[in-house]
Amino acid sequence: MKFNPQVYIISGKISVGKTTFAKKLAVELKRHNIPVGGIISEKVISDSQISGYNLTDIETDESEILLRRSDEVEKERIGRFGIFAEGFQRGNAILTRVRLSDNTIVIIDEVGILELGDKGWSASLAEILKSSDKQLLIIVRENLLEEVIRKWKLCDPVVFKVPETDYLIAAKVIVDHLNT
């Protein structure tokens, strides 16, 4: 399979279904025998409210605590959530493994405020962008899209807007690109 590296972005507002779209897209790409790896940040719901996020390895389905609603003063925070450093260490280790593997597509859910501040997945994202043999699929909130494109100097990214775009159409775009 010969291809030119491409950056794909799944973008939309908060809680519109970007992560669900990414998970369905990953399954569809695997159905087309395209090796996919990376990380998904899944909401943890308790008492009908978001209590945090878990990090899930796309290849192994293993999870790690990433963020939790917390009043602990000693924890670094993003919004109302305390950051679990172990989750970010695990996520960056997964992204390093995927970057060095035979996976064609690397998924990062999500690139946002932390990464714009050179934290979170920022270093891993920069390393993946240096890899000329990887396709990158990132999830970015709509209000941060232009800033993310500027910061990492992403040339002509393909943006899939959720909910306007169907994941099957996105899969076809990616498969067609990989087959040209």
Rounded to whole angstroms, the Cα distance separating 16 from 92 reads 26
Q: What is the mean pLDDT of residues 149-153?
A: 95
Pair 12, 163: CB distance under 8 Å: yes
Contact 62, 40 (CB under 8 A): no
User: Cα(66)–Cα(6) distance, rounded to whole angstroms?
Assistant: 28
**pLDDT tops 60 at residue 146:** yes
Rounded CA gap, 163 and 153, in Å? 25
As given in the structure block, the two tokens for residue 180 are: 């040209």
- DSSP-derived letter for residue 79 is T
Residue 12's Cβ-count burial label (10 Å; 0-12, 13-18, 19+) is buried
Q: Which residues contact 133 (CB under 8 A, 6 or more apart)?
A: 5
Per residue in 68-95, pLDDT tens? 987 765 678 888 899 999 999 999 999 9
> In this predicted structure, what is the pLDDT of residue 20?
97
- Architecture per CATH, domain 7-40+85-178, reads as 3-Layer(aba) Sandwich (3.40)
pLDDT tens for each residue of 100-142 = 998 889 999 999 999 999 999 999 999 999 877 889 999 999 9
Candidates 68, 56, 75, 63; CA nearest to 139 is 56
pTM of full prediction above 0.75: yes
* Strand ranges (E), the chain: 7-12, 36-46, 49-57, 63-69, 77-78, 81-83, 105-109, 135-141, 158-161
**Residue 77 pLDDT:** 87
Which region among 46-50, 63-67, 167-171 has the lowest average model confidence (pLDDT)? 46-50
Q: Average pLDDT, whole number, for the chain?
A: 92
* Mean pLDDT, range 163-167, rounded to an integer: 97
